[in-house]
């Protein structure tokens, strides 16, 4: 993996998704805030550039995730996002809502932060549910129509929202909102570290929230840093 000081965090993760684990280790945002250069992020975080560079260069794509998402066709990538990440959110949300409500009710008098965590996750769940529907019903079908138009050498389809840039801008703004919610959840949970002697439900809540945030980071990365830029370039190409 060729890494230079001016290469952005998002570009590094696009080339190798496993690099995301290195950035997570140093609490570096590779999703919504991934447009920052490696050099700038080191300055901001007070990190030694050479140390971070060495860790990134040692990252290898393992059998756990050896997908080269950047080479996938847009329809295939969209189907993957829906089948893997959207399904994960839909399946995990009810469980987390139950965990969060139970822990807040039982332990909220002593650990007051869990009451706020419960409120924040309810907010995130509501935001994500509406967000994913807009993608599935509006943005994703339009991007597939763009791909079809390219194959058929025809003009791009008309859309009520004008350019694909408009729904993309909205989706990325919503990504940032949900990302901010999880930054606050991570802070309140001390990076998902349950208090000593916490019950199993308490521990399960923090563990599942951690898993949920990691999936969300990858989910947003695939859209913000791969799907959206390619869709914008494709629409521009078809219009010209």
| Per-residue pLDDT at 61 exceeds 60 | no
**118-154 residue pLDDT tens:** 999 999 999 999 999 999 999 999 999 999 999 999 9
- The parent domain of residue 51 ranges over 9-57
| 226 and 158 assigned to the same domain | yes
Report the interhelical angle of 228-239 vs 140-152 (nearest 10°).
40
- 86 plus 189 within the same structural domain: yes
SS3 31: coil
Q: Are residues 157 and 184 in the same domain?
A: yes
pLDDT score of 64 more than 70: no
DSSP class of residue 70 equals: G
Q: How many structural domains comprise the chain?
A: 2
Q: Does 1 fall in a domain? A: no
For residue range 149-182, what is the model confidence (pLDDT) as tens digits? 999 999 888 888 989 999 999 999 999 999 999 9
Note whether 106 and 221 are same-domain residues. yes
Residue 136 maps to a domain: yes
Same domain, 227 and 143: yes
Backbone angles phi, psi at 60, to 5 degrees: -120, 150
**Residue 70, pLDDT above cutoff 50:** yes
Residue 156 belongs to some domain of the structure: yes
Maximum Cα–Cα distance across the chain: 64
Tens digit of pLDDT for each residue in 7-42? Answer: 999 888 888 867 877 887 888 888 777 889 999 999
Q: Is residue 155 part of a domain?
A: yes
In the chain, what percentage of residues exceed pLDDT 70?
96
The pLDDT of residue 65 is 59
Q: Tell whether 62 is covered by a domain.
A: no
Same domain flag for 78 and 14: no
In a domain, 122, yes or no: yes
Q: What is the pLDDT of residue 63?
A: 38
DSSP 71: G
Distance CA 137, CA 143 (A): 11
């Amino acid at each position: 993996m060729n890494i230079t000081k001016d290469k952005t965090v998002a570009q590094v993760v696009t080339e190798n998704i496993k690099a995301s684990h290195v950035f997570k280790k140093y609490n570096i945002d590779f999703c919504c805030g991934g447009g920052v250069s490696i050099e700038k992020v080191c300055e901001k975080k007070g990190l030694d550039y050479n140390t971070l560079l060495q860790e990134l260069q040692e990252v290898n794509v393992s059998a756990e995730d050896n997908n080269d998402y950047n080479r996938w066709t847009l329809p295939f990538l969209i189907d993957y996002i829906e089948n893997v990440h959207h399904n994960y959110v839909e399946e995990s949300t009810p469980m987390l809502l139950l965990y969060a409500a139970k822990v807040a009710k039982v332990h909220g008098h002593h650990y007051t932060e869990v009451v706020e965590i419960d409120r924040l996750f309810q907010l995130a769940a509501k935001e994500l549910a509406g967000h994913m529907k807009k993608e599935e019903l509006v943005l994703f079908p339009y991007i597939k129509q763009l791909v079809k138009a390219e194959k058929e050498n025809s003009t791009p389809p008309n859309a009520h929202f004008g350019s694909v840039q408009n729904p993309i801008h909205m989706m990325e703004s919503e990504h940032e909102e949900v990302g901010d919610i999880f930054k606050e959840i991570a802070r309140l949970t001390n990076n998902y570290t349950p208090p000593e002697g916490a019950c199993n439900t308490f521990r399960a809540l923090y563990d599942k929230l951690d898993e949920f945030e990691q999936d969300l980071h990858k989910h947003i990365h695939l859209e913000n840093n791969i799907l959206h830029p390619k869709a914008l370039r494709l629409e521009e190409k078809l219009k010209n």
